[in-house]
Each structure stands twice: as C-alpha cells, then as structure tokens.
A and B are shown apart, each in its own frame.
Chain A
Amino acid sequence: MRTHLILTAMLLGAVAFTASAQSIVNGFFSGKGHGAVALSYSAEHYDNVFLVPNEVKGVPIFREVSVNSVSVFATYGVTDRLEASLTLPYITARGNADPAVLEGLGFENERKGLQDLSLALKYLAYRLNVGAGRLDVAVSAGLRTPVGNYRVDEGLQSILAIGNRATAVTSLALLHWQSAMGLFVTAQGGYSVRSGEVPDAWVGELKAGYAHRAFYVDVWYAGQRSTGGVNILGEGFTGFFPATDVTFTRAGLSAFVPVVGGLGLSGGVSKYLTGRNVGEATGFYGGVVYNF
C-alpha cells in the first residue's frame, strides 16, 4: 500500500524532535490495523543561548552543549479515524566545561538517562473533498510524563538537565490539506498544561511537503510560547530551570525513502531560529522505520 508506507514515514518527521517537546502528532492517518515502529538517533549542538534580552555566546559554565538521543517511536491505527502514537527517548547531554571549574562547583560534564514517555491519541473529525485534493480536520490529546529518574534541581548543573520533569497534557487541533499529486500542508496548534513550576505553553507547527512513491520530503516551522515563567538570570530566577519561560521558533527539513519490504530510512535537520531561555541548537537525525 503505497500511501500507507509514505504516510507512515511522515509520522516520523517529528520523531527525533521529541527531546525538545516537539509534537509527535501530524496530519496523516495510517488506517485501521496499520502503523509503524521506528528507531532513531538525533544529535543537537549549541554554543549560543537565547537569553533575555540578549543572546549569549558560550553556554555559561559548559561553553557548549551536545544533546544526543536514541528514541523509539510507534504509531498504530486503532480505526481509520483514530490513531495512537508513543515515543520514548534516551538522552545524553554533554557540556565542555573546564574540569577545574567543574571541580570547583562539584559539577559534571554529562547528564543522561531515559527522559519522558509521550502518548497521543488523534481523531479525524472531518474529511472534506476540496477539488482534486482533500482537507482533514483532526483533534489530538497527548500525555507526556517523566519515566527516567533524571534530575532538574541541581542548580546551574541543570543547564545539562535532559528534561523538565513536568507531566504535560497537550490538546491540539490540526488542519491537513493534501492534493492528488502528493503535495500537502499541515497546520496544528494547541495548548499544553504542565505540572509543577513549569509554565503552560501554546504550541504550534506548520508543515509543507511532497509525498511520492519513491520519496517523501517536508519542511516545517514550529514553535512554543510559554504563558509565564522567569528568565534565566532575570528577576525571580533561583537557579531552578524548569520554572523558566521557554519560548522558541525552529525550522527543519525531513525526508524518507522506502528501501525494501516495509523498511525505510528517514532523516532530517533542524535549527532554532529565535527563543527565550533556550539553546540556539542545530541538529540532525536519522532513523530506521518499519511499516506494517
């Protein structure tokens, strides 16, 4: 099933980005009984940080930070209109601080572990034929919660924290248009309620691409805007990073090629464009996908 293979691949565009609270939901549906499992690797790096009001060159203490993750991702069509997805990353964050500075502070250059499990359900509310294409309207509810025992309360050491330890409930609305030729545009937006001191956030993503029998490609633009929170080194900052306002926009490109049978390869690049209290990271990912 051509569309099945390609559409499943599209689900994977977001796989590598879950480490940064990116949406694991997209505009496509696999169909009842179908789905995919993927294993992916991602690498991000930054040496600049978007502070408020100015950007800082050189990450405080750690100079530069590399974040690598290995993620499992699965999606399954419960019915033709209902899709369930999950992802779980194992993340390693490494800094490049001077060992003497680390010793003085009692810090380390690495933090790693299992991060957060994300689950999402997506429901196709309307399907509308528009000319030669069609328009889908869907809604989604997601839950994300820490499963690893990583820490976020280690003061400035937590610049390397691999997550924020919040449990988040995210509601999304999605509009997805695709032409008979394979062009598509997906817009999604919603609100994420977070536990503890982590501020809630509006989240959104716009994606456009082309899906063909032999390949798939998309470009995307996504963002998050915290509804509160403090600025790093600003009023109210105590060294507890989960309480910070994490706002950003980022863009990227994803691609997928089927290889043999149900197997295919996916890959992509991403970059933060603007932000508050977040690293100006550039990254790439690659993964192996099995469709069924």
Chain B
Amino acid sequence: MLSVKKYLLLSGLIAALWSLPACQKEEAPLPSIAAIAVTNPDFSTLEDAAVLGGVAAVLSNPNPNDPQGAYTVFAPNNAAFARLGLNSGADLRVLQPAFLTSTLLYHVSGGNLRGDRLTNGASSASALGPTRRVVVRGSDRYLNGSKILATDVAASNGTVHVIDKVLLATGADIVQSALALRDAKVFVGPELSFLVEAVLYAELADALTAKPGSPSFTVFAPTDAAFRQLGQDLGVPLKVPADIRKLPKDVVTNVLLNHVVADGGKFNPEMNAGSIMPLGGTPLTIGAFANGVVTVRGKGNDAAANMVIPDVQTTNGVVHVIDRVLLP
C-alpha cells in the first residue's frame, strides 16, 4: 500500500518533471545576423540571397577571424533588391551563383564597424576585398551609392546597418568587368555585349584597363537594349554586337568617349546637377539627385538616360549601367 507520504513525494516528482518543458530557459540571446535577416520581413530577398549564396550558416556563427567574433553587414532591404528587379528568391536566379556569393561578401566586413565611425571619407575593406567609402550628402550618409537607412542593429555575432541599394563590386577593372557581363559571368544571360564590342572596335580597351598609375573613371555603360534602341532611332540595324563594326570607327570612338569621365570615379551621391566633361569633349548634363540617383544626358539626346544598375565599383572607377546611349 502506498503511504500518503510516498504519494505526495511521487506527485511532486511527476509534477516537477512535467513542468520542466514549460520552464523558460535563461534570457534569450541576441539573434545572429542570419537570424535577423530571416526573421525580418523587410529582408526576405536578402534571406533568399544568403541561402542561395551559401552564407546563411557562416553568418549564424561568430567570425573566426575576429577577436570579438564579429561581422559587420550592410543589409540591403527588399526595396534595395527590387530596384534591380530582384523581387524574390526566384528573381535572384538571373545572377550567377558565384557572383551572388561575391556580391554578398561585398556587404560584409570583419569586426564591429559602429555607426558613429561611418563618417565622410571613411573607408572600409569588405570580405570580398575591395574597400567601400562613406559619402555624406546633406544630412544623409551613404556607403558607395547606397543610403544608410539605419545603423547599429545589434546581433550576437556583430552589427547590421540597413541600406537602400545593393552594393555591387566586380573586383576587376572596367574592361574585365564589362567582359564578365558580356560572357554571362554576372547575369545568366549576356549583358553589355554591344558596349564591349564597341570598346574593342574603337581600341579603347587598353585605356580603360587598370595599370599602375593609371587614372580612374566614371563610366556610363549603356545596356544592350539601349544600343538596339539607338539602332532603331538612327535607322541603322544594330541587332548583334558585331553590327557595331558596320559604323565608322571614329564615330564609335567619339560616342564611347562621351561615356567616360576621368574624375576618379564617382558614385551617384557624389554627383551634382549640372555639367560634367567626358573624354569626348562635349559636356554631359547631370540631372537632379533624386531617390539616390541622377540622370545623365548627352548633348545629342532628346531625353536623359536613367540608371539601370547604378554604382558598380571596379578597381579603376565606378560604372553606372544606363538605359540610353549618350550621344555627343
């Protein structure tokens, strides 16, 4: 027969066992950078990018190469990806996986880079290699061309700052970057094929190749669609890149030089409305800075070109992919 004492003891034991799962554990730690991206609905495209780019597990854990175990991540929100037409994980499939991964790494650096250290002219090396620079315009701060929307979101393994544009860097010079796009190493389909053909035809590749002591440029790079449109507008058939070679070489050279400014390479927040002088010698008109970008118009254009992919960092300048060929 079970005594009352034993009964009470057993009841207590079982009640204690039963209550264990309901106990709260020690106070919850900070979420990791990966968990912040996954749990915040405004980072859902970044979440997909991190998964597709294979960095989700890395950004869940402390940085093994930093004494504090920290990373700093500049996190593009969904609107930032949407500016590039990337609205979902499925859209990210237009990017080559290797390029996606390197792009993500360009948003990451080791250690805690606090928001108060993001001052005008400051630079920060990325995990990809190339450095990024802080630009202050008015009361806003930018990293390259990306506006910093929020700073110092604390994570268990570092710090997150929110930005409104995806940071892009090729890790190569202007010519190699354009070739990578043409050869479908960035997007799964070729891009800038006409531009590359034109540069080769005009023998400008050497001038735009990075060499010790060579200058850096701002380059406005028209898309393939822009060249096809130009062909239609001029009544010249520009259907495939080789068609460029049907045009007089000096004309092609002049048009190309109208897209290159020897100003060290400017991101959008570093450009102001007014005139700038390209290598071709006919001024370009820069439009008002709005929503993080400017427009650019050649003297021979009846409308300004818009930024399709702004602020691409290369090793010898900044490339802005635009939707119209700039005519002198």
In B1-26, the 8 Å CB interface with A consists of 1-2, 7, 10-11, 13-23, 25
Cα(A190)–Cα(B20), bound, Å: 10
**What 1/0 flags go to B12-47 for Cβ under 8 Å of A?**
011111111111010011111011001101001001
Chain A residues contacting B30 (CB-CB under 8 Å) are 53
Contact of B51 among A105, A173, A236 (CB under 8 A): A105
Q: How many chain-B residues does the 8 Å CB contact rule pick out?
A: 45
Is A235 in contact with B10, judged by CB distance below 8 angstroms? no
A223 adjacent to chain B (CB < 8 Å): yes
Is B2 in contact with A189, judged by CB distance below 8 angstroms? no
Contact of A187 among B14, B29, B156 (CB under 8 A): B14
Chain B residues contacting A237 (CB-CB under 8 Å) are 32, 57, 60-61
Interface of B is mostly: helix
Is A233 in contact with B60, judged by CB distance below 8 angstroms? yes
Cα(A247)–Cα(B21), bound, Å: 7
**Stretch from A5-13, A66-74, A81-89, A95-103 at the B interface:** A95-103
Cα(A212)–Cα(B181), bound, Å: 75
Is A204 in contact with B39, judged by CB distance below 8 angstroms? no
In B32-72, the 8 Å CB interface with A consists of 32, 34-35, 38-39, 41, 44, 47-48, 51-52, 56-57, 60-62
Chain A residues contacting B23 (CB-CB under 8 Å) are 225
Cα(A175)–Cα(B2), bound, Å: 13
A-B pairs with CB below 8 Å: how many? 138
Is B61 in contact with A225, judged by CB distance below 8 angstroms? no
- New contact pairs (14) apart from A51-B35, A101-B90, A223-B22, CB-CB < 8 Å: A51-B38, A52-B35, A55-B39, A58-B44, A61-B48, A100-B93, A128-B1, A173-B17, A189-B16, A204-B19, A225-B25, A232-B60, A234-B29, A235-B156
A120 adjacent to chain B (CB < 8 Å): no
B254 adjacent to chain A (CB < 8 Å): no
Is B31 in contact with A54, judged by CB distance below 8 angstroms? yes
Chain A residues contacting B14 (CB-CB under 8 Å) are 173-175, 187-189
Which residue of the partner chain B has the closest CB to A227? B20
30 A-B residue pairings within 8 Å (CB atoms): A51-B35, A53-B31, A54-B31, A54-B39, A55-B39, A56-B39, A60-B38, A60-B47, A98-B88, A98-B90, A101-B48, A101-B90, A135-B2, A137-B2, A173-B17, A175-B10, A187-B15, A189-B16, A189-B17, A204-B19, A205-B18, A222-B21, A223-B21, A233-B32, A235-B157, A237-B60, A237-B61, A247-B21, A247-B25, A248-B21
A206 adjacent to chain B (CB < 8 Å): yes
| 8 cross-chain pairs, A with B, having the tightest CB-CB distances, nearest first | A189-B17, A223-B21, A53-B28, A100-B90, A204-B18, A101-B89, A233-B35, A202-B20
B97 adjacent to chain A (CB < 8 Å): yes
Is A52 in contact with B31, judged by CB distance below 8 angstroms? yes
Q: Would A204 and B20 be within 8 Å (CB), given that A104-B52, A156-B56, A187-B15 are in contact?
A: yes
Chain A residues contacting B321 (CB-CB under 8 Å) are none
Chain A residues contacting B17 (CB-CB under 8 Å) are 173, 188-191, 202, 204
Cα(A189)–Cα(B12), bound, Å: 11
Q: Which residues of A contact B (CB under 8 A)?
A: 51-58, 60-61, 98-101, 103-105, 126, 128, 135, 137, 156, 173-175, 187-191, 202-206, 222-225, 231-239, 247-249, 276
Contact of B18 among A101, A135, A206 (CB under 8 A): A206
B199 adjacent to chain A (CB < 8 Å): no
Chain A residues contacting B16 (CB-CB under 8 Å) are 189
B92 adjacent to chain A (CB < 8 Å): yes
Chain A residues contacting B62 (CB-CB under 8 Å) are 235
Chain B residues contacting A204 (CB-CB under 8 Å) are 17-21
Cα(A187)–Cα(B15), bound, Å: 7
Smallest CB separation, B96 vs chain A (Å): 11
The residue in B1, B41, B61, B92 that gathers the most chain A C-beta atoms within 10 A of its C-beta is B61
Q: Which residues of B contact A (CB under 8 A)?
A: 1-2, 7, 10-11, 13-23, 25, 28-32, 34-35, 38-39, 41, 44, 47-48, 51-52, 56-57, 60-62, 88-90, 92-93, 97, 156-157
Is A56 in contact with B38, judged by CB distance below 8 angstroms? yes
Chain A residues contacting B44 (CB-CB under 8 Å) are 58
Cα(A188)–Cα(B13), bound, Å: 10
Chain B residues contacting A126 (CB-CB under 8 Å) are 2
Contact of A203 among B21, B31, B38 (CB under 8 A): B21
Chain B residues contacting A232 (CB-CB under 8 Å) are 35, 60
Which residue of the partner chain B has the closest CB to A274? B22
Contact of A173 among B10, B21, B34, B60 (CB under 8 A): B10
Is A233 in contact with B38, judged by CB distance below 8 angstroms? yes
Is B32 in contact with A235, judged by CB distance below 8 angstroms? yes
Cα(A101)–Cα(B30), bound, Å: 29
Chain B residues contacting A175 (CB-CB under 8 Å) are 10-11, 14
Which residue of the partner chain A has the closest CB to B34? A233
Chain B residues contacting A248 (CB-CB under 8 Å) are 21
Cα(A191)–Cα(B13), bound, Å: 13
Chain A residues contacting B25 (CB-CB under 8 Å) are 225, 247, 276
Which residue of the partner chain A has the closest CB to B44? A58
Smallest CB separation, B236 vs chain A (Å): 37
Smallest CB separation, A81 vs chain B (Å): 15
Chain A residues contacting B22 (CB-CB under 8 Å) are 223, 249
Cα(A158)–Cα(B35), bound, Å: 17
Which residue of the partner chain B has the closest CB to A156? B51
Cα(A233)–Cα(B50), bound, Å: 12
Q: Would A100 and B13 be within 8 Å (CB), given that A53-B29, A225-B21 are in contact?
A: no
Chain B residues contacting A191 (CB-CB under 8 Å) are 17
Which residue of the partner chain B has the closest CB to A177? B11
Which residue of the partner chain A has the closest CB to B47? A60
Smallest CB separation, A234 vs chain B (Å): 6
